Amino acid sequence: MRLLLVEDDVALAEGLKKDLSRAGFAVDVAHDGVEGEFLGSEVDYDAVILDLGLPKKPGLDVLSAWRQQKNTVPVIVLTARDAWNERVDGLRAGADDYLGKPFHIEELLARIDAMVRRRVGRADAVMEVSGLILDEQRQEVKTEEGECLSLTGTEFRLLRYFMNHPGKILSKSRLTEHVYEDDADRDSNVIEVYVRRLREKLGKEIIRTQRGQGYVFGDPR
Ligand code: CA
Distances (CA, A) of 110 to 116, 125, 137, 143, 217: 10, 10, 10, 24, 25
Distance of CA 65 to the CA centre of its chain: 21
Distance from Cα 191 to the centre of ligand 1, integer Å: 36
Q: What is the pLDDT of residue 188?
A: 66
Distance 137 CA to ligand 1 centre (A): 29
- Kindly report, as residue ranges, where domains of CATH 3.40.50.2300 are found in the chain: 2-120
Gap from CA of 9 to ligand 1 centroid (Å)? 6
The reported pLDDT for the residue numbered 220 is 62
pLDDT, residue 58, reads: 97
Distance CA 23, CA 86 (A): 28
pLDDT at 221 over 60: no
Secondary structure (3-state) at 143: coil
Tell me, what's the pLDDT at 184? 56
Question: Does domain 2-120 fall into CATH 3.90.105.20?
Answer: no
94 with 66: CB under 8 angstroms? yes
Kindly report the backbone phi and psi dihedral angles of residue 188, in degrees, each rounded to the nearest multiple of 5, phi listed first: -65, -15
Give the pLDDT score at 63.
98
Q: What is the CA(78)–ligand 1 centre distance, in A?
A: 9
**Could you read off the pLDDT of 4-19 as tens digits, one per residue?**
999 999 999 999 999 9
Region 17-24 average pLDDT: 94
Closest by Cα among 90, 116, 100, 146 to 24: 116
**In the prediction, which pLDDT does 81 show?**
79
Rg (alpha carbons) of the chain, rounded to whole number:
18
Q: From the CA of 36, how far away is ligand 1's center (Å)? A: 13
pLDDT, tens digit (0-9, with 9 covering 90-100), for 76-117 = 999 987 889 999 999 999 999 999 999 999 999 999 999 999
Preceding peptide of 102 cis, ω within 30°? yes
Q: Separation of 80 CA from ligand 1 center, angstroms?
A: 9
Q: Does domain 127-217 have CATH number 1.10.10.10?
A: yes
Residue 182, pLDDT > 80, answer: no
CA distance 208 to 145: 21
User: Given pLDDT bands bounded at 50, 70 and 90, which one contains residue 190?
Assistant: confident
Task: Evaluate if residue 186 carries a pLDDT over 90.
Answer: no
